A and B are shown apart, each in its own frame.
Chain A
Amino acid sequence: MTTLPKTTSAKKLGLVIDLDTCVGCHACVVSCKGWNTENYGAPLSDQDPYGSDPSGTFLNRVHSYEVQPETGPAQLIHFPKSCLHCEDAPCVTVCPTGASYKRAEDGIVLVNEDACIGCGLCAWACPYGAREMDQAAGVMKKCTLCVDRIYNDNLPEEDRVPSCVRTCPSGARHFGDLGDDTSEVSQLVAARGGMDLMPELGTKPVNKYLPPRPKDVPADLDILAPYLEPVSGTQKGFLGWLDKALEKL
């Protein structure tokens, strides 16, 4: 049923993404594609992958933004973006077939691909661009929060997190229960001022983004510095002898 669960689940599984730490390496993008193309649902197809106009289905993509503060140098911020598993998910309620649903037990938003007619309305309803229609299978693909890893007893315990989180080399991605105030992710959000994307649209995203920390401010440089003669005090020892010797030449 594509109505949202009547009561919001106590458990709200999601990601916390640290914009301060992300280095923009796209490893999460690659590992996400790798895991999800051969597990849950239809493979993530590519169109014309080795040709002149390649495109394909991805569940996670990394944008980069330049932020120019009023004073000081501009900052480059890498910005991974995937499904935010919204509490008030507009993609779920628009679905005509019941394929799109939000799980009552842990809040994960999923697509039952056997029921998806590929109308694309859920992708229109999502403000974040988290859903992409697979051009080969004709069904909607989205982040599953690696539902086939996180509850998978066949995997070693350290692997029971989403593929992107397991892969991230800079520790910028965290997975946990955001409905539990004592969880590590909730404490991280509280400590770092975790934020929602497009809060004005009322989607109540579960995933949170940690803003970049303030950067060290470099000491003021004299703008005339490049034009000044290098100041050289009298050198001592070997360099002093070399200086004098070269001077005499």
Chain B
Amino acid sequence: MHPAGSVILFTVASGLGFGMLTWLGLGLPDARGWAAFFHYAVAFALAGGGLLASTFHLGNPQRFLKAFSQWRSSWLSREGCLAVACLLVMGVFALGTVFYDNAWQPLGYIGAALSILTVFATSMIYAQLKTVPRWNHWSTPVLFLALSLGGGGLLAGQVGLAIGLLCLAGALQLFAWLSGDGRFHERGTDVGTATGLGARGIVRAFEPPHTGNNYLLKEMVHQVGRKHAVKLRVIAFALMIVAPLVLLMISSSVLMICLAVACHALGTFAQRWLFFAEAEHVVGLYYGKR
């Protein structure tokens, strides 16, 4: 799949933002006044900024209000509804912590639950697609949630929680990469089933329908990004998981936490690039590509 910059920015930033909002809603840290203000400013900037970035790749973003209408069937619509609900609830809760000495804690619990559901809905946009076997697996939502809560924990200064969740995310990431590599083959969809001609012999794409490029190839048969996949996996894992863990074990000062957040965010960008670039869509089979 084409690793669109806007979608990578959206999933990384809003993942971190909603992860941070989860912990803030649970009262971790239990900040008040100005301290609370700065925490919420960061979380809202990440969550809201990410959502805004997601509209950059739309063909007709001015019609975005319609995207809140299909929550009964569409994970993308659910994600939008949950995100707005979460931001509204957490906005009111934030007012309480900044100005009224945390007067409305139950709202925080509701907001935390909505944050988790938002990240889950984001991950399900990808995990629901049978056409992309690498994504179509329980490990996709679980990994998204672990990364969101781990990175959010870092941002919220919850060192102990963050260390635990990053270890979990690291293990899940390795599992997702290793099990994902063979899943396309395991699902049994090949050019034979795609054309229905598989029983007759070995099917080979002989001539494509067009000599130039097209939307399908650009969007879903993006092979360029896979060239340095192994190197990028090492870089992503080192920055996203290993570096923050090492930094936090050295010291849990504010400076170290900031450094750990920066490493983790950079690593997550690389990881998310790979998430898209390495994902093979079955439509590539029609073109003799993956």
**Does B189 sit within 8 A of A, measured CB to CB?**
yes
Q: Whole-angstrom distance between the alpha carbons of A124 and B57 in the complex?
A: 14
> Interface stretch among B100-108, B165-173, B207-215, B224-232?
B207-215
Q: Whole-angstrom distance between the alpha carbons of A116 and B64 in the complex?
A: 9
Q: Whole-angstrom distance between the alpha carbons of A66 and B219 in the complex?
A: 26
> Interface stretch among A93-101, A156-164, A220-228?
A93-101
Known: A65-B204, A198-B189. A117 touches B197 (CB 8 A): no
Residues of A contacting B77 in the complex (Cβ-Cβ under 8 angstroms): 96-97
Q: Is the interface of A mostly helix, strand, loop or mixed?
A: loop
Q: Would you call A124 and B203 a contact (CB within 8 A)?
A: no
Residues of chain B in range 197-248 having any CB-CB distance to chain A below 8 Å: 197, 200-210, 212-216, 219-220
> Interface stretch among B11-19, B65-73, B137-145?
B65-73
Q: Which of A29, A97, A119, A211 contacts B197 (CB 8 A)?
A: A211
Number of contact residues on A: which range applies? 35 or more
Q: Mark B47-66, 1 if CB is under 8 A from A, else 0.
A: 00000000001111101101
**Closest 6 pairs (CB-CB, A-B):** A118-B59, A138-B59, A61-B209, A69-B201, A96-B77, A97-B66
Apart from A90-B131, A94-B128, A128-B283, 16 more pairs, CB < 8 Å? A1-B70, A2-B73, A56-B214, A65-B197, A66-B206, A67-B197, A69-B201, A96-B74, A115-B66, A116-B59, A116-B63, A117-B64, A124-B129, A128-B286, A133-B59, A198-B282
Residues of B within 8 A of A (CB): 1, 57-61, 63-64, 66-70, 72-77, 80, 125, 128-132, 187-189, 191, 193-197, 200-210, 212-216, 219-220, 281-283, 286-287
A-B contact pairs, 16 of them (CB 8 A): A2-B73, A3-B73, A55-B210, A55-B214, A56-B214, A62-B209, A96-B69, A97-B77, A121-B125, A123-B216, A124-B132, A127-B189, A137-B59, A201-B131, A211-B196, A211-B197
